[in-house]
Structure 1
Amino acid sequence: MKHRFYLLLMTVMALISAAFLYHYLNKPIKAKDFTQMSIYLTSDQEVPYVISDKKVINEVIKKINSSPKEDISKIIFEHGPDGRIIFKGNTTIYEVKVFSYGGNVVTEKYYIHSNLFNDLIEIFGKL
């Protein structure tokens, strides 16, 4: 009986660890030390909107990481992204492409249904 309990406990721990690892590895943006976020839209002649509020940056990263994703290799775009978001930290820089007409994000691996710009409007409304 004691042996079965330990076996069950080890199995549950292994499953929890695997789920945590899978979730962490599938996050498009893994770093958390970003201090600046610059939003470039092609229609704005490359003049960025610069955000340095860490709370807002973390909210945007959380939204991107938690939104539904599709494998980018399975999608054919009629028009490509027309903007980009650059996250800058002390030692890291990470860039994603963005569609301004919906705010969905493109990374190296994923097309992310984030509806980001509507959420940015809500976030700025809270500040």
Structure 2
Amino acid sequence: MGKQMTELLKGTLEGIVLAILSVRPAYGYEITARLREEGFADLAEGTVYALLVRIEQRGLVDVEKVPSEKGPPRKVYTLNAQGRDDLTEFWRTWSFLAERLERLRHDAGHPQEEGT
């Protein structure tokens, strides 16, 4: 993963994880697996777990410990109302930035990337 991608991901990973949790509750490994399915193969598992601690501390998710067949109970994260509000704001900000970046790219004479 290049430096620019790493920096952009730092600023957006919370919103991405909240979006994953908006579909259904999940535990840390499921979230990491989903991110990898979406192409974030180089993402360290520890990064996701640290982020989950932060969003739990900020009150964006509800956490339930669920028994596991393999070891200690799993913490299952569920997006709550505050988390949904945060996700709505994330998408609003994302749309604002994406529109302006696309306009700048167009004005600079750079065609849209293939497949986008």
Tell me the TM-score range normalised by the shorter chain.
Answer: under 0.3
Which of the pair has the greater relative contact order for Cα pairs under 8 Å at 6+ separation?
A: 2
Higher helix share: 2
Question: Computing the radius of gyration over CA atoms, which structure comes out larger, 1 or 2?
Answer: 1
Q: TM-score, normalised by structure 1?
A: 0.25
